[in-house]
A = this chain, B = another copy of it.
Amino acid sequence: MGTAFDDTSRSRQPHRVAIPPAKPFLQTLKSNLKETLFPDDPFRELKKQPSASRKLVLGLQYFIPILEWAPRYTFAFFRADLVAGITIASLAVPQGISYAQLASLPPIVGLYSSFVPPLVYAMLGSSRDVAVGTVAVASLLISTMLGKEVSPVDNPKLYFQLAVTATFFAGVFEASLGFLRLGFIVDFLSHATIVGFMSGAATVVCLQQLKGILGLVHFTHETDIVSVMRSIFTQTHQWRWESGILGCCFLFFLLTTRYFSKRKSYFFWINAMAPLTSVVLGSVLVYFTHAEKHGVQVIGNLKKGLNPLSITDLAFGSPHLMVAIKTGIITGIIALAEGVAVGRSFAQYKNYHIDGNKEMIAFGTMNIVGSLTSCYLTSGPFSRTAVNYNAGCKTAVSNIVMAVAVMFTLLFLTPLFHYTPLVVLSSIIMAAMLGLIDYEAAFHLWKVDKYDFAVCLGAYVGVVFGSVETGLVIAVAISLVRMLLFLARPKTGLLGNIPNSMIYRSMDQYPNAESVPGVMILQIDAPVYFANANYLRERISRWIDEEEDKLKSTGGPSLQFVILDMTSIGNIDTSGISMLEEVKKNTDRKELKLVLANPRSEVIKKLDKSQFIKTIGQEWIYLTVAEAVAACNYMLHTCNPKHVTTAETNGQDSNV
């Protein structure tokens, strides 16, 4: 086979490398922008429609998904959604109250936040499974970031105003990301970052709950483990055993129910009902034992009635506005990342598609509307969504059912929560958080990719020992450094011939690959940009030097050709082209011939425009490494008598 190939390559012209025709600049820009911002081509269906009215309907359906699926809604769907909606409502009420406490907001705000936002999401969201509600990590972030500026204890009114203002900006930020089609920014929070960050945040939230479980009144405002531990162990005399025992009992109860429901998936409702059961049990217990007089703190009075408007509470003129904006943007992106990731995961289970940008608009709108109606930041929390999915929800109607149930609670049932002990809420949060510490995922990262593990660990350690923001910054920084390092220090390696084939592969990966005498084949594994141009120039010259040293010491035939395999060079910039020009000068000085193999479309276009093709000579650019090697062997064979025997022998060895 090899011989046949050699014959043909000697007798006829090898395949030419095509230089695609230059496209007008604006056309290239347009297609690049389209690929960057509209990779999913969302209006594909729309374009196919001939009539304008049909287009309008499709367009409206695109922006308001409920218009699309509502006409197909059936009674069977409703039955499923009703069950799911009531199930998640039973989780939403205690969770709402708990997380509001975590955000240092009045408990009733947590209930408000489970009423309006789910209704908005049901109109605009494209997920069928996401159950809307407040999320633990964002709640904690709000309390730490705003708490530094304004004390929620001393100035609860201003604190509340800042919280809704932050929610407003979170909404605006999320919606603008969606409108500007910049959803991919969320992708920069990698899986590893999220695992580490969530586990860290869950650890921190758990530690915070020790306050409630131990019945402490004074507690540190810091979230790092050192401050929290110091705060706990300097006030051992303040620990309340009544509170502690109650807390441990409920925690045990909640963890046990979760254990069983994980064993058998049709027991999921045990887990779903457990928080509400705990609340009821706890309240009844306190009511009959009057434990509130023995150190067990209770929620107290909750105002009856639906969400009051909070437009006048948006503190645009406040001196703390910048803090509110910063809090909004950071919590907004964290909440968004969780919501979008959760939505995507469940969509995959059920095999339907979620448009990230549309989801962002939905989350953003629901937070903007929420901020006007006394709600704080909401998203699609994992725990509630998982329960919704397990309860068999079919559409976003389950969110409407939940909202109606919460409305009912707000209107009639709030007095029932008067005696609910705070320690039960702490147990509920703690149980939920313990499930988020994903050590198995971390172990998997360690096994598969050490660098991802470092990202994950960085996020975890940053959150637990520093602050939530520190952890996030560390993780994103490590992830970006990794990508930049990949570009700044691309892999280079020698290729050799796989015996009995015309295939050339890395000699590191395929130890049986054989080098071709007199020819060095070098592969570069990344686009050539300014960030790596200098490195590559030095590395290539070192490869050549080392190869020449080696050949000299083994007494082999001297080096004559350097083939650059450009298959993996996806793009090049002007610094990269200068680098190639310098490599060419360098090889010329050493009397070596530089040969290019398989330059790609973008690369060959730029090499052409910068006249480098003329410098190197069109005849030294080949479509494949095999053809380049064949041409080199032919040259060695015919033009350089002293090499004839070696080249000939090798041609037989490596190609047949």
Per-residue interface assignment for chain A, residues 5 to 20, with 1 indicating a CB less than 8 Å from any chain B CB and 0 otherwise: 1001000000100101
Inter-subunit contact B530/A582 (CB<8 Å)? no
Residue A188 interfacial (CB < 8 Å): yes
Alpha-carbon distance A534/B185, docked complex (angstroms): 11
Per-residue interface assignment for chain A, residues 504 to 518, with 1 indicating a CB less than 8 Å from any chain B CB and 0 otherwise: 011011110000000
A207 CB to nearest chain B CB (Å): 28
Q: Which of B484, B508, B585 contacts A483 (CB 8 A)?
A: B484
A4 nearest CB neighbor, chain B only? B1
Alpha-carbon distance A538/B601, docked complex (angstroms): 23
In A431-474, the 8 Å CB interface with B consists of 444-445, 447-452
- Known contacts: A530-B188, A585-B348. The answer to whether A449 contacts B606 by CB under 8 A is yes
Residue A587 interfacial (CB < 8 Å): no
Contacts of A356 in B (CB 8 A): 534
Residue A539 interfacial (CB < 8 Å): yes
Contacts of A152 in B (CB 8 A): none
- The size of the chain A interface, using a CB distance under 8 A, is 91
Alpha-carbon distance A532/B348, docked complex (angstroms): 18
Alpha-carbon distance A247/B18, docked complex (angstroms): 56
Alpha-carbon distance A538/B357, docked complex (angstroms): 13
Alpha-carbon distance A609/B5, docked complex (angstroms): 38
Inter-subunit contact A36/B489 (CB<8 Å)? yes
Residue A141 interfacial (CB < 8 Å): no
Please report whether the interface of chain A is mostly helix, strand, loop or mixed according to DSSP.
helix
In A167-226, the 8 Å CB interface with B consists of 184, 187-193
Number of copies: 2
Contacts of A610 in B (CB 8 A): 444, 447-448
Residue A313 interfacial (CB < 8 Å): no
Inter-subunit contact B484/A534 (CB<8 Å)? no
- Known contacts: A187-B530, A187-B535, A192-B530. The answer to whether A41 contacts B567 by CB under 8 A is no
Residue A118 interfacial (CB < 8 Å): no
Q: Could you list which residues of chain A lie within 8 angstroms of chain B, going by C-beta atoms?
A: 1, 4-5, 8, 15, 18, 20, 25, 28-29, 35-36, 39-41, 184, 187-193, 344, 348, 351, 356, 444-445, 447-452, 479-480, 482-491, 498, 501, 503, 505-506, 508-511, 525-527, 529-535, 538-539, 542, 567-568, 570-571, 573-575, 577-578, 582, 585, 589, 598, 600-602, 604, 606, 609-610, 623-624
Q: Can you name 23 A-B residue pairings with CB atoms under 8 Å?
A: A4-B4, A20-B509, A39-B535, A40-B538, A184-B489, A184-B534, A187-B532, A189-B530, A190-B531, A192-B573, A344-B534, A351-B589, A444-B574, A447-B609, A480-B484, A483-B487, A483-B531, A491-B602, A503-B623, A503-B624, A506-B601, A509-B600, A525-B600
